[in-house]
Amino acid sequence: MDAVTHTRQQWTEMPETLTSRISAVIGEVVSAESQPSGFSTGVAARVTTATGARAFVKAADRGRNEQTVELHRREARILGDVPLGPSAPRLIGTAEDHDWFVLIVDDIAGRHPDERAGDTERVLDALASLPRVTTMHGLPRVAETEQDAMAAWKELEDAAGGDVPEWARRHHALLADLASRAVDALRGDWLLHFDTRADNLLVEADGTVRIVDWPWAALGCRWFDALCYLIDVRMRAEPCDTNLLVEQHPIFADAASGDVTAVLAGLAGHFLDKARRPAPAFMPALRAFQRAEGEAALDWVRERVE
């Protein structure tokens, strides 16, 4: 399933005063190509200036979605303050006009990864390049922020039948017990992207993987992002031996098998719990995506425990 929403605002919907402020940062914009992927409701566009320079512009209107505005502000701060390494895009600047906020970064020419093109190990290599952080830079620790998320099986105990797959209903106690160990497994000082899926990754022509969309950056165990990406690979039914990668790729070197299963169980419960809730305004595809991710994580847990 693609992470696509059909409710994005378009470049042409932005006020002229705002596009003028963008031009003041990067030069006169002569073309803008709106991008459909992702779940944000705001503008996402690849733009070209009169000098031929290119940039990627994200913009949001507080009146339509205040959370998206705050996410863009947070990402601007992270890109500007946190040493993310060469895989992240460069922050070019920001702009504001009344209720609008704009984030401007390097435009990265690339495609989304796919194991059919041999990309999964490249993605894991890129994630392995993220640094261990000695200064927190105001980033949250996932072992502290995700305690409720990892305990979602408690919420699902009495969920309606259609909200939880049959195998999970029959093994609820096992899943809740596994997930109860996830928080300790998440502890660490490694920089995490914390929203790692194919539509937040770009593969350049030379095979270099770039990691984009950084508002959720956090600190935790080194292998969390890699595990989330492998869930995404399984959800998209790509031909990949995810268990072999967990056993052999260096990013999982310090990951105990039981810890991996615990975090998978916690993520499965979290996604399934989110999926049964009403969809946020202007984001109709989100819950179906979360359901698919939850089922993929659950299927992997089942595979590991049976």
pLDDT digits (tens, 9 = 90+) for 191-210: 999 999 999 999 999 999 99
pLDDT at 253 over 80: yes
pLDDT at 279 over 50: yes
Write the secondary structure of 179-235 as one string of H (helix), E (strand) and C (coil): HCCHHHHCCCCEEECCCCCHHHEEECCCCCEEECCCCCCEEECCCHHHHHHHHHHHH
User: In the chain, what are the domains?
Assistant: 11-105 (3.30.200.20), 115-305 (3.90.1200.10)
Structure-token pair, residue 15: 């006020």
pLDDT digits (tens, 9 = 90+) for 287-296: 999 999 999 9
For the segment 19-44, the average pLDDT, to the nearest whole number, is 91
Task: Give this prediction's pTM.
Answer: 0.94
pLDDT at 264 over 50: yes
pLDDT at 5 over 70: no
User: If phi over 0 gives left and psi between -120 and 50 gives alpha, with beta otherwise, what is residue 11?
Assistant: alpha
162 — pLDDT class (breaks 50, 70, 90): confident
Q: Pairing relation of β-strands 190-192 and 218-220?
A: antiparallel
For residue 2, the one-letter residue type is D
Helices 286-305 and 224-235 meet at what angle, rounded to 10? 100
Q: Which of 128, 143, 140, 150 is nearest to 263 (CA)?
A: 150
**Residue 112: HSE in the Cβ half-sphere, 13 Å Cα cutoff:** 15
Distance CA 280, CA 82 (A): 30
pLDDT digits (tens, 9 = 90+) for 10-25: 999 999 999 999 999 9
- pLDDT score at 35: 87
